[in-house]
Amino acid sequence: MVIDEDGFRLSEALVARMRRFLAGESGPTPVPRVAATVVLLRPADGGFEAYVLRRAASMAFASGVYAFPGGGVDPADAGADLGWAGPPADEWARRLGRPAAEAQAVVCAAVREVFEEAGVLLAEAAPESPLTEPATGVEGTIDTSGDDWERDRERLVRHEVHLAEVLARRGLVLRSDLLGAWARWITPEFETRRFDTYFFVAALPEGQVPRDVSGEADHTMWVRPGDAVARYRAGEIAMLPPTVVLLRNLAEYPDVAAVLAAAADRDAATPVMPRAELAPDGTVRLQRYVR
């Protein structure tokens, strides 16, 4: 294990990939796939906690590391006609630095992935529209714990339906106002699987409880951002650099409201992409830079 000057813990396998890349021995650099990930937040005594899951050892990318619910963008969401509450696609285009249709697909991916991997849905009943199926729970909150919801979630995971279809059938609209764009990271060029990932923050909707439903994870937990970073530094848990940096950022805020307020001023359009560098003493380090 190598610890670079930024405090990132670099595994021997990662260092080996970095060295091969710097020596020109790697294959073609893959084009990054656009993706979205969501940091669910909830109040806790004296602060707040973030929801993280540990990627199963069977996963081809980042197995064994703690991360947030997330995944790739579905191009079909770019042109989807779906109910929408909150900032429109044009506003998200400005925040994310993408055309409006692509920005809509990114926001849809964020909502879909947190539902697929945590069972939490950032949506509400459409105004003045009767629900075709029961969807709301106590005081108007959405209850996604039923077997019918689980069937919808599994169909989304299997790509049998799109998010817009599920929302329309249940008389729901997507709540883009529950999301705050926080950052954008691109996987380094030396990796064989690469993602152009938008990181969002979101308060856990009232009445909903995350469920360990993702086959991609073998453990989930709520943790204070500062505690997660301390455990990472102590070598108790593994995380990728974007996760560590984001949790460091969040640890600076006193509560969920302050995080969401700060998100309004964050630059989530300009990507950060770590790169491998060879230090004068021959060691390899991971250097962050803005594209």
Q: How wide is the angle at C-alpha 65 spanned by C-alphas 216 and 219, nearest 5°?
A: 50
Average pLDDT of the residues in 89-100: 96
Q: State yes or no: pLDDT of 76 exceeds 50.
A: yes
Kindly report the pTM of this predicted structure. Answer: 0.90
Q: How much is the pLDDT for 290?
A: 65
CA distance 166 to 162: 7
Between 51 and 290, the more confident residue is 51
Q: 185 lies in which domain range?
A: 2-287
Q: Which residue has the tokens 């990939």?
A: 17
Average pLDDT of the residues in 172-187: 95
Average pLDDT of the residues in 90-111: 97
Share of residues in the chain with pLDDT > 70 (%): 88
**Looking at residue 248, which CATH number applies to its domain?**
3.90.79.10
Q: How much is the pLDDT for 111?
A: 97
Q: How much is the pLDDT for 132?
A: 38
Q: How many domains does the chain have?
A: 1
pLDDT digits (tens, 9 = 90+) for 278-289: 888 888 888 876
User: What is the residue-wise DSSP string for 270-287?
Assistant: S-B--EEEE-TTS-EEEE
Categorize the per-residue pLDDT at 130 as very low, low, confident or very high, splitting at 50, 70 and 90: very low
Categorize the per-residue pLDDT at 215 as very low, low, confident or very high, splitting at 50, 70 and 90: low
Q: How much is the pLDDT for 134?
A: 38
Q: Are 186 and 195 in contact (CB under 8 A)?
A: yes
Average pLDDT of the residues in 58-69: 72
Q: How much is the pLDDT for 139?
A: 38
